[in-house]
Structure 1
Amino acid sequence: MTTSSTGSGSGQQGASSVSLSERTAHLCAEAALFMRDHVLSLVSHDLRGPLNAIHSWAYVLERKLDANDPAAQRAIVGIRSGVDQQVKLLESIVDTTRAGTKTLALVREPFALQALFSDSVDEVRAGLARSRGVSVAFESELSTEQFNGDRERLAAALWLMLTFAVEAGANGAKVTLASGADARAWHAVVSYEPTLAAFDDASVSHLLEPFARTQARAPREAGRIAWVLALCKRVAEAHGGTFEQGEMQDGQAATLALRIPLVAA
């Protein structure tokens, strides 16, 4: 089925537009926060491998060098000291900075899944899609299903998935959110056909940060997601679920998929 938004009086429109603007600003800030911490996590992980290797090779070199050569011994001490300083820097600054989103607290309560999806679609339509000339459709297999989870966190993840797809769309593009459930989990899949140049098109509206949009176009290593989608991954994992970003190529069908177990892990 497909949801649609209804109009309201001019006074209500003014109030709702202010509310929508504030909420959109909040969601953008949340996406940026999780992206920052995701990047810090990658930096911490990717630097530790080379640093460990340097540390190990320093011991190998030490056994090969003349113990009576002061210059060689100072060089080895300097290498080890430099490695130790970098590791402490990662632990004291990088790891500490990202601690706020590393363990994501959830406020669980029952809510209707159908309303969650339809509200998310309406929010993205009003917040970015209409100004970009991108249509957002909603196809649902759900009716009255309930889920006990953090509705606000999940709404933020769905908003970001849809907004990312809209950001990737040129005028006239179509984004579709399909939702459903089986005996074990519910899922939400966003389908779109990206026009990669749309991420950086200065003539249209944008919500995601320029850095995030530029990085989203870059080639990704296997299993890694665009940095700006980190919030989706963390929210999914906090609920015991998964988030996947399919391969994204210009003009080719692409997907973003969220799958959440019906029973909390």
Structure 2
Amino acid sequence: MASAEAVRSVQEVSALIEQSAHDLRSSLNAIQSWAYVLDRAFDNTPAPAQRALDGIRSGMQQQLALIEEMEEAVRLLADESTPSWQNVDLLALVAQAIADRRPAADARGVLLNALTTDSTAGSPRSCDGLQSPDVPEPPGLSASAYWIDGDAVRLAPLLRHLLVHCIWRAPAGGAVRVHLSSEADCVKLRITESPPLDQQRSASRLAALTDFFGRRPAQGGAMPSRQSSALLLTRRMVEMHGAVLSAETDGCDSDKISVCIAVRFPRHLRRA
């Protein structure tokens, strides 16, 4: 009986998500249609009006993409099914996520750099930063260095949503960098956010992410910093994988610090 109730609950949530997304898309499609009509109502559209129409079209495309992301995020957050664990190539999944979200970055005027990997020689380091001399050296760029135990159904959306979050935070003309490194007992993903226009905001951003990832309450009874639905999904999916989220800095110059979102995925599932 409990199983039947769970199935019905999931179906109801799914139906609500689909209907809400449909209603939101309908309104946006109507606005797009009027923009199309207005664009063709003049033989020579004045430059300010043309820029406004271009902005409307661009905004509508971004909102439609955001609705699609939120629809998937809410469905995944509501999914209580047991993970299906398998050996997956994180290198291939990250590369595919970048390819999937490059159009979104281009539409926003953000450079989504190609994936880089850690190909330096030397003894690998464990994910706590300690040297691990008894572990064989990672095989450079070999894909075998980036295999982990994971739930592929959830892992792929996790990566896409994390990229989307960083793309949406970046200002026009900004850049997002993605780096994957093979370590002794885990594979580490680092996504470097585009530096904020006001560099002083990097420190507060770093603190807010650190509290959010660690599920720590805000200091002094302050309201917790609001985070995106993409990060809410990411945190849940990361924790489900037994991975660790952290906020790091990229850059030694205190005036040019960029915030990185790092995820350390254990190579092997830690079974109870």
When normalised by structure 1's length, the TM-score is 0.51
Counterpart mapping for 1:1-265 below 5 A = 26-32=68-74, 100=78, 105-126=82-103, 128-137=104-113, 138-141=115-118, 142-145=141-144, 146-195=147-196, 220=208, 223-225=211-213, 226-228=227-229, 229-245=231-247, 252-265=257-270
SS class of match (1:110): strand
Query: How far is the alpha carbon of 1:27 from its aligned partner?
Result: 3.6
Change beyond 3 A, Cα 1:28–1:221:
closer
List per-residue Cα deviations over 1:72-123 (Å, max 9, x = no partner). Answer: xxxxxxxxxxxxxxxxxxxxxxxxxxxx45x563122222222111101111
Query: How far is the alpha carbon of 1:170 from its aligned partner?
Result: 1.7
CA distance in 2, matches of 1:188, 1:238: 16
Report the structure, 1 or 2, having the larger helix content. Answer: 1
RMSD of aligned residue pairs (Cα, Å): 3.6
List per-residue Cα deviations over 1:32-60 (Å, max 9, x = no partner). Answer: 457xx7xxxxxxxxxxxxxxxxxxxxxxx
Structure 2: gaps spanning 5 or more residues: 1-63, 119-140, 199-204, 214-226, 250-254
Matched pairs, number: 161
CA distance in 1, matches of 2:179, 2:82: 27
Give the AA of the match of 1:122: A
CA distance in 2, matches of 1:157, 1:143: 23
Contact 2:116 2:180 in 1 (8 A): yes
SS class of match (1:224): helix
Q: Return the index of the structure with the highest Cα Rg.
A: 1
Query: How far is the alpha carbon of 1:161 from its aligned partner?
Result: 1.5
Contact 2:180 2:187 in 1 (8 A): yes
Structure 1: gaps spanning 5 or more residues: 1-21, 38-99, 198-216
SS class of match (1:107): coil
